[in-house]
Amino acid sequence: MKTPHDVVLIPGDGIGPEIAEATLAILEAAGAPIRWRECLGGVTAMETVGEPLPQATLEAIEATGVALKGPLTTPIGSGFRSVNVALRKHFDLYANVRPAVTLLPAARYPDVDLVIVRENTEGLYAGIEHFIGMENDPRAVAESVMLITRYGSRRIVRFAFEYALAHGRRLVTLVHKANILKYTQGLFLEVGRNVAAEYEGRVEFDEKIVDATAMQLALDPYRFDVIVTENMFGDILSDQVAGLIGGLGFAPGANLGERAAIFEAVHGSAPDIAGQGIANPTSLLLAGCLLLDHLEEREAAARIRAALHRTLQEGAGYTPDLGGSAGTAEFAAAVIERLDAAGE
Q: Determine the pLDDT at residue 341.
A: 65
Question: Could you tell me which residues come within 8 angstroms of residue 266 by beta carbon, excluding any fewer than 6 positions away?
Answer: 98, 238, 242, 248, 251, 252, 253, 283
pLDDT band at residue 75, thresholds of 50, 70 and 90?
low
* pLDDT mean over 9-37: 97
Mean per-residue pLDDT of the chain: 94
Query: What is the rounded average pLDDT of the residues 146-169?
Result: 97
Nearest to 195 by CA among 239, 227, 260, 150: 150
User: Which pLDDT band holds residue 344 (cuts at 50, 70, 90)?
Assistant: very low
The stretch 86-103 carries a mean pLDDT of 96
Q: What is the percent of the chain with per-residue pLDDT over 90, rounded to a whole number? A: 90
Residue 83, pLDDT score: 87
**Per-residue model confidence as pLDDT tens digits over 326-337:** 999 999 999 999
Marked catalytic residue, from 125, 163, 199, 318: 125
**Residues 204, 191: Cα–Cα separation, whole Å:** 16
Helix axes of 298-314 and 282-294: crossing angle, nearest 10 degrees: 160
CATH 3.40.718.10 fits 1-92+259-344, yes or no: yes
**Confidence at residue 79, expressed as pLDDT on a 0 to 100 scale:** 57
Q: What is the pLDDT of residues 190-232, one digit of tens each?
A: 999 999 999 999 999 999 999 999 999 999 999 999 999 999 9
Pick the catalytic residue: 69, 163, 177, 199?
177
Q: Is the pTM here over 0.85, yes or no?
A: yes
Whether residue 142 has pLDDT greater than 50: yes
pLDDT of 78 strictly over 60:
no
Structure confidence at residue 73 (pLDDT): 85
Give the confidence band of 85 by pLDDT, cuts at 50, 70, 90.
confident
Among 68, 71, 67, which residue's Cα sits nearest to residue 82? 71
Q: Is 125 a catalytic residue?
A: yes
* 251: three-class secondary structure by DSSP: coil
Give the pLDDT of residue 125. 87
Q: How much is the CA Rg of the chain, to the nearest whole Å?
A: 20
The Cα–Cα gap between 338 and 236 comes to: 34
Catalytic residue selected from 111, 211, 220, 340? 211
Report pLDDT for 106. 84
Contact 248, 283 (CB under 8 A): yes
Collapsed DSSP state (helix, strand, coil) of residue 50: coil
Query: Using the 8-state DSSP alphabet, how is residue 221 labeled?
Result: G
Give the model confidence (pLDDT) of 202-212 as tens digits: 999 999 999 99
Q: Is 229 helix (H, G, I), strand (E, B) or coil?
A: strand
For residue 235, indicate whether it is catalytic: yes
Q: Write down the pLDDT at residue 80.
A: 59
Pick the catalytic residue from 163, 225, 235, 318. Answer: 235
Question: Is residue 177 annotated as part of the catalytic site, yes or no?
Answer: yes
Give the whole-number percent of the chain exceeding pLDDT 70. Answer: 96
Delimit the domains of the chain by residue range. 1-92+259-344
What integer pLDDT is reported at residue 13 of this predicted model?
95
Reported as a single tens digit per residue, the pLDDT across 243-274 is: 999 999 999 999 999 999 999 999 999 999 99
